[in-house]
Amino acid sequence: MTTSLTAALREKYPRLIPARFGFECADGWLSIIDDFLAIVDRELPASGTFHLRQVKEKLGGLRIYFDVSPDTPAEAQTAIDDAYDRASARSYKICEICGARGRFSNRHGLLTVVCEEHQVDDFGDRAVPREPESDYIRQRDDKGWQRYDFDLDAFVATDPPEGWK
């Protein structure tokens, strides 16, 4: 992420982002990260602590590694966990480079999410979209199986993936 965007996020969320912190993903996921941090900032009590450890792209998706203080109220913890799941799920449908709607793709073994405009990189290598498009599915003890619906920006009830119970 560019230095100016990192600085803008740090200025917006000074209690959440350490002074010496670098994001290891491209600028296209800025809005996803911003949305996640906004929920953390809103839900975390003033006395609570949030330790942002790492934000990066891994296996084509966004990973945000963090800890919250153990005395964080359960409702706040659930909201933060749900915000993380939603951020991760959204990253599989948003181009990491520009933020447009993208497709989970494979570029010579490198998994990535790119829009049509960014399918071909600076070296002329094409990212091939995964067919069929897969859904981001999670299992919640209290809610059963859920699938992320990008258009609703929410998790909805679903059957378990094939081979799971």
Question: Is the dihedral angle over the CA atoms 4, 53, 121, 61 positive or is it negative?
Answer: negative
Domain assignment present for residue 47? The answer is: yes
What one-character-per-residue DSSP string does 60-129 give?
TEEEEEEEE-TTS-HHHHHHHHHHHHHHHHHHTSB-TTT-SB-EEEEETTEEEEE-STTSB-TTSPBPEE
- Overall domain count for the chain: 1
Domain assignment present for residue 42? The answer is: yes
Return the pLDDT at 162.
85
Task: Please report, as a single letter, which amino acid is at residue 44.
Answer: L
Q: What is the mean pLDDT of each run of 10 residues along the chain (165 residues)?
A: 87 94 94 98 95 96 97 95 96 97 95 96 93 85 89 93 83
Question: pTM for the whole thing?
Answer: 0.93
Return the pLDDT at 139.
85
User: What's the domain range around 82?
Assistant: 1-91
User: Tell me: the pLDDT tens digits for 76-107?
Assistant: 999 999 999 999 999 999 999 999 999 999 99
Domain assignment present for residue 104? The answer is: no
